[in-house]
Chain A
Amino acid sequence: METIYTIADNIISSLGFTSNENFHKLKQSESGIEISNDPKITQTPMPCSQIDSERLNSEFSKIGDPDQFTRLEKLMILSITDCIKQSGIDPSQNDTLFVFSSVKGNIDLIENENHAFEKDRINLWAISETVCNFFNAKNNPIFVSNACISGATALITAAQYLKQKKYTNAVVCGGDIISEFTPSGFQSFKAVSSEPCKPFDTNRTGITLGEAAGTIILTNDKMLVKEDNPVIFRGGANTNDANHISGPSRTGDGLYYAIRNALKESNKKDTEIDYISGHGTATPYNDEMESKAIAWAELKHVPVNSLKGYWGHTLGAAGIIESIAGIHSIKENCLIKTQGYNEHGVTESINVITEFKETKINNFLKTASGFGGSNAALYFSELNAD
């Protein structure tokens, strides 16, 4: 079986423009969520996690003309640029594949009739085309839009191609921005919390939205790996609840099958997992369902967190940036506390992380679930672990 190494990562969010900047703030339990009263985003005060536009344009102007790209494209290009620099790969070679994930893409263009871009730019494929042109990429990119599991699916898809040895490297980039569109919809569902979200807590009332872009570079070429004991992608799976388009399964069956299939692909036969990076959106149904799936997988003992209390729910970026946090939890041997969690509020007695803790972490499981009944699970470990 081909080994898939992670060799570079970047997160751009309210907490910073690099993975290190972000992870440092997670370790300090610093949240990027603030109340917004911006009428372009919400008609009532709403907590959310937003990227500093001034910093975005000033960072971007070092590599390109900010007026030529949409907000999301700028985030993705900056994020990928940082990763390419770290990894040393040449993205214009035909051994490199680009895989993108986004839920709503350039949806802000729908709200601005006077934007300066071509009409087609609203399409998701136009984002991948624009970003790939920036990097002179040779291959047709892949674009995943699988609701809230998009980022996780993008990583699984990229790994599948690298395992087949069709490409050497995959640049996996996901992102979503906040405009008026998404908040209004989740508000109409009464799914947005009036306070910063409280994953797995008894008083949780809904999600907090966030914007972010994240990139991971995967490779099957050992020569590109700089570390002695790198973090590798072991396996992943997507499943469907087949229950309801906007509500999760009551039993957790779909997510359980995703976990089972991901661990099977990873050839992981025991339940010795050091950490679960949960989805934990803080809606009543999602967190309850997740606790059942974790219990079903016999993983109740494993420390679990949700990072939504720091970044909010970043949609197409979530699976990628939360996987990056897991990779850094392995590298820095620590567990990040679940911001917003105070009192246990799910049926199953899952082991929610309440305090930052330094401890040996060799592996982790990342889970995600979303509208359309979709679920995904990914398993990463150190090369020299199990």
Chain B
Amino acid sequence: MENSISKYCIIKPHQVIVDGETAYTDPDKNEFGAFLKSVYKHYEIKYPKYFKMDNLCKLAFVASEIVLQSNEHLKNLDPTKVGVILQNAHSSLDTDQKYYETIKDKSNYFPSPAVFVYTLPNVMIGEICIRNKFQGENTCFIAKQFDPEFVCEYVNELMDKNKIDACITGWVDYIDGDYCAMLFLVEKNKENKKDNISFKPEIINRIIK
């Protein structure tokens, strides 16, 4: 049985694309923080913890919120059967650099636990899981480039072995103001639905081109 993409969201500089349509653009071409905050407001997201997150988590979180809007039925699934599988290139390096600045100078040494906790790439998965109470398979993979073939194969195997019934998956990377999120909500094929988009590498490659 094939798995299909119920919804997808791409966030790249000044632009949000949802299911192939440009859903939001930032006319002011703001830098990341202001841009993402405008996206947050545009989609009427309300989650105070967002403001504590580092940039990588903010990016992953906002993309996941957009993908999950109008997919309320996920809340009715067994939480242990909803997975979050993400891939990125720069791990948490952007925050690693910021954290290192706080310990570099011994005469001005102020390591912060609130920053340190974000020096792990899988924390972005944790944030999505906490928000939505998803408790299934969750892994952060690191690769030089987004590898749709790998991600599809890995997630489809989890779905086909019935380890999970739905999955938020894709790519979320942030480094020094460069960023890109490509998130897909993958579910088992719904019956009698002719326009299912197959969760396959060739389809993903076409979507992200």
Contacts and interface: CB of A to CB of B under 8 A. Distances in A.
A81 interface: no
Interface of A: 43, 103-105, 107, 110-111, 122-125, 129, 140, 142-147, 153, 157, 160, 164, 166, 180-181, 184-189, 237-246, 253-254, 257, 261, 265, 370-374
A245 B118 CA distance: 9
A239 B144 contact: no
Interface size class of B (residues with CB under 8 A): 35 or more
B111 A188 contact: yes
Interface in B141-163: 141-144, 147, 150, 153-154, 157, 163
B130 A242 contact: yes
A160 B135 contact: no
B138 A185 contact: no
A241 B154 CA distance: 22
A143 B111 CA distance: 28
Given A187-B111, A239-B136, A240-B138, A373 B89 contact: no
B120 A145 contact: yes
B157 A160 contact: yes
Contact of B137 (A237, A242, A370, A371): A237
Interface stretch (B5-13, B95-103, B178-186): B95-103
Contacts of A160: 154, 157
B142 A242 contact: no
B113 A240 contact: no
Contacts of B129: 240-242, 373
Contacts of A253: 135
Given A145-B121, A242-B132, A374-B122, A110 B100 contact: yes
Contact of A240 (B111, B125, B163): B125
Contacts of B89: 123, 125
A146 B122 CA distance: 5
Nearest to B132: A242
Given A140-B143, A143-B141, A144-B139, 19 more contacts: A123-B89, A140-B147, A145-B141, A181-B99, A181-B119, A185-B111, A188-B112, A188-B113, A240-B134, A242-B129, A242-B132, A242-B133, A245-B127, A245-B130, A265-B163, A371-B122, A372-B120, A372-B125, A374-B138
Contact of A123 (B91, B119, B133, B141): B91
Contact of A373 (B103, B112, B130): B130
A189 B100 contact: no
B119 A185 contact: yes
Interface string B75-109: 00001100010000111010011011001101001
A242 B134 contact: yes
